[in-house]
Structure 1
Amino acid sequence: MSKLHISFEIKSMRGMFWVPLIAIILCFLYFIYLTSNQTLDVLLALPTFEFIIVPLSSWWITYLFYDYYENHALEVLLSYPVSEAEHGFFRILFFILLYTLSTLFLIGYIVMFSDASLSLLLLQYVPQYLFFAGLSFLCMTLFQNIGVALTVLAFYTATEFLTGGQLIPWYHVFFYNEDFLDFSQIVNKSVFTLAIGLILIKLGGYFLKNIRHS
């Protein structure tokens, strides 16, 4: 893990590192509002979590590779004596773990004011985090442009939110649930989502490897 230079990674994101954390805090305040008003319900937090918190799991991953392309430092960074997995997979894995820990108190707050299961909510959301991480990594290595990558992520999320996954025949990562789901309703799709996320990371690593050896 020391080879990953985590403190350097965070500093290289500059102010962009704080964007997901600010969004998480704002959502937490919204969740407090939901539970403090007797006319509202904590179930209203579920769409907010899926369509704001889940896609933001891609933010740190996208900016991990900002310097590779936007600041023209690709050749220097790829010359570091680390493997392709350390350039891609392990860095992504660390920041997804960090993001999961950052959102854990949000999930715990939902559990506190409902009969939801912490483990089931993690089973639902963590594979989605990995899916968006893989998609952002692939977009950055494929298009080599942060604007294009963020546009793809925003377009996918907005389209899914507005159409409920009924318009475009691509993979629909969201559950669109308005109530808490049980294990049988989550497990198959979550396993599939996890597999797709890993495939996207693998594809991103493939393009990064080809750039490195070109």
Structure 2
Amino acid sequence: MKILLATTNEGKVRELRQLLKDLDIEVLSLKDMDKKLEVEEDKETFLENAIKKATSYAKFYKLPVIAEDSGLEVDALNGLPGIYSARFFDIEFGKEVLKEIPENLSKDEKNNLKLLRLLENQTNRKARYKTTLVFYNFDYGILTEGVCEGQIAYRSEGNQGFGYDPIFIPEGYNKTMAQLTPEEKNKISHRGKAVSKLVEILKKVL
């Protein structure tokens, strides 16, 4: 059986393939597909974005799809970046802190730097990673969710992972997500929790 992961993010693909390895399936990503379709994530919640991606890609490629939408919620910013996590640097909120940011930084580095600057004088660093995962197989759909509580560090550390991992310290740890091994991260991460739930269900229905 083939299942399509509705993402081109190499970090997500790597994590999801590792988490799905116990299932007897061939895991494809959007980068493996010849015909290209881009589905805009323009909804207002992680769930709505995940459902839109799962159903749109499934109908286009005629394959079962696993889609997810995830992000970082920071209490001091009233839940932002949230659904804007991947493009936080580009949104209007917080533009005042964007002076003198080098153009050669990656998108992740720019997002992280913007967030650190917005929290510069903030003692409340509480935050959480959230993900909503949708499996769509034409006949039925499965929804799972995962949350990883933690706090925002004062500086970027570590080179594992991706996204906000270098500035996110998981609850119970004294190092960032980017300082954990992939195996350590998968045990506690929002995505790891959501995929583990999905795998248990898929073992029964596939």
Q: TM-score normalised to the size of structure 1?
A: 0.34
| Structure with more of its chain in strand, by fraction | 2
| Structure with more of its chain in helix, by fraction | 1
Structure showing greater relative contact order (alpha-carbon pairs closer than 8 Å, 6 or more residues apart): 1
